[in-house]
Amino acid sequence: MECLFCEIAKGEVPTFKLYDDGKFIVALDVNPATYGHIIIFPKAHYQTILEMPKDEYCQLFNLARIMIRLIPEVIKVSSFNIIYSLGVDAGQRMPHVVVHVVPRYKDDKVAIGWEPLKMSQEELRKLQNYIINTLTKKFSGSSNQGQREVPKQTTGADTSKPPSEAQQPSKEGPTQDLALP
């Protein structure tokens, strides 16, 4: 069996199509989380948005924005979740880019949330510095005209390698309440 969304794009599998511009399809989700739940996906096969050309993923998310503006004209709803899952651990069930636009209603049965990971101010600062250092290396010397500047590191900590296991988030949470600079 080929990718389900590729089969839908080829017209081999029926769907409740709302829009098709030759590059993207917008359709009702056949297993909706709520009334009016739609899916938006490219007709071309991309497993993740990282494989998509920039203009195409911009068009994809612009379609989600357009749908959020139009849906309230036909369904009485004013709240939405836009859901895109990248990778199995994030809930990606099919190897094809799919964006879900889920209308939200008071007392619906959709549960999106998490128990916050407890991290100390020091752990957050180390992670921040590691990411900043990595971004700085990635973008230094490249033509990043029009790009935002990477923030400066907040401490002189070693940021050449990721935080070690010992520096991974603690289960206990912050040991003291430190104010960020």
Q: Are residues 24 and 100 in the same domain?
A: yes
d(CA 112, CA 78): 17
Instruction: Show the DSSP H helices in the chain as ranges.
Output: 4-9, 54-74, 121-139
Degrees (nearest 5) of the Cα angle 22, 26, 30? 130
Q: Are residues 100 and 127 in the same domain?
A: no
Q: Are residues 85 and 17 in the same domain?
A: yes
Q: Is 31 exposed, middle or buried (0-12, 13-18, 19+ CB in 10 A)?
A: exposed
Q: How many CB atoms lie within 10 A of CB 143?
A: 7
The pLDDT value given to residue 143: 54
d(CA 142, CA 147): 11
The pLDDT value given to residue 178: 32
Quick check: pTM over 0.85? no
Distances in whole angstroms, Cα of residue 146 to Cα of each of 61, 93, 140, 143, 162: 21, 36, 14, 9, 28
The pLDDT value given to residue 44: 95
The pLDDT value given to residue 171: 42
From first to last of the 181 residues of the chain, give the pLDDT tens digit.
589 999 999 999 999 999 999 999 999 999 999 999 999 999 999 999 999 999 999 999 999 999 999 999 999 999 999 999 888 777 788 889 999 999 999 999 998 888 899 999 999 999 999 999 999 888 876 555 555 555 666 665 555 566 654 444 444 433 333 333 3
Q: Please indicate, yes or no, if residue 53 is contained in any of the structural domains.
A: yes
d(CA 48, CA 5): 13
Q: Please indicate, yes or no, if residue 38 is contained in any of the structural domains.
A: yes
The pLDDT value given to residue 87: 81
The pLDDT value given to residue 92: 81
Q: Are residues 130 and 64 in the same domain?
A: no
Number of domains comprising the chain: 2
**The domain containing residue 145 runs over which residues?**
121-167
